[in-house]
Amino acid sequence: MSREISLACARGTLTALRSGKAEGPKLLALHGWLDNAASFLPLLPHLGDFDVVALDLPGHGGSAHRLPGYDYVFVDWIHDVLDALDALGWSRANLLGHSMGGAIATLVAAAAPERVERLALIEALGPIAGIAEEAGTRLRQAATARRALDSNKSARVIADLQTAVDLRMAASQMSRDAACLIVARNLRPVADGFVWRSDPRLTLPTHVRTDESFIRSWIRAIEAPTLVVAADPAPPYFTPEARDQRIAELRHGRVEVIAGGHHLHMEQAELVAAVVVPFLRGAA
């Protein structure tokens, strides 16, 4: 159903899974934090009429990590996505993003509206907002964690796939089948088992989170028709109240709520596809 591709970009090679029809509408899919392109595998059978590229974001899956000494600054993801579009030769495309990938897609649509046809977001509309009163503590904690990271430390060896899946499920609430897909793409075989392919720097706290007023201004800059698919129950960082306030800032936007967990695009792919696919085809 899908094939592995590599994209030569300015800050390193990005890997991706490509599927569908080459002549179909262009669709770039962006996964969530510590996930990878495999998180879209359950949706791919429903996207057969599209030319789909599910990207491994930098530091995830098989894509290159940031250079030593650098961090994963949120606005930099904008250029990773634009670089991927350039490498594909796509002047304009639809964007499909889950969680962190949805937050990134939000910023791309605001920063480069001429590149985005339609915007489908799952469990996201912009990044997580910061609290001004916590900014000093966050900055201190992030700087301390960054300085303490030992890049020379040997990676933890995991005995087998099932152990790795157990570790992922302990950190994230999702079905075992969903975890297996993500974990299998995020493991590199070594002599005694496996190690994670994802960059350890991704687990560090961010130095800065943006104020809500800035995020809403970014959302107002989006020109593309936008669909937000939200899970019920909602996660604490994307409450219905916060979600609806942001959706109200969209020029052309609506929300569809589906009962399920945060990875509902994997666990309930058919229900998600039933609303996402018509939207991407141009339905209201």
Active site residues: 99
Question: Can you tell me the distance from the alpha carbon of 82 to that of 98, in angstroms, rounded to the nearest whole number?
Answer: 17
Question: Can you tell me the distance from the alpha carbon of 94 to that of 240, in angstroms, rounded to the nearest whole number?
Answer: 25
**Measuring CA to CA, which residue among 112, 128, 118 is closest to residue 96?**
118
Question: Can you tell me the distance from the alpha carbon of 264 to that of 40, in angstroms, rounded to the nearest whole number?
Answer: 11
Question: Can you tell me the distance from the alpha carbon of 41 to that of 279, in angstroms, rounded to the nearest whole number?
Answer: 19
Cα 50 to the chain's mean position, in Å?
A: 19
Contacts of 279 (CB under 8 A, 6+ apart): 118, 120, 225, 227
Classify 165 as helix, strand or coil. Answer: helix
Neighbours of 261 (CB within 10 A): 18
Q: Is the peptide bond before 233 cis (omega within 30 degrees of 0)?
A: yes
Neighbours of 73 (CB within 10 A): 11
Question: Can you tell me the distance from the alpha carbon of 221 to that of 193, in angstroms, rounded to the nearest whole number?
Answer: 47
Termini Cα distance of the chain: 29
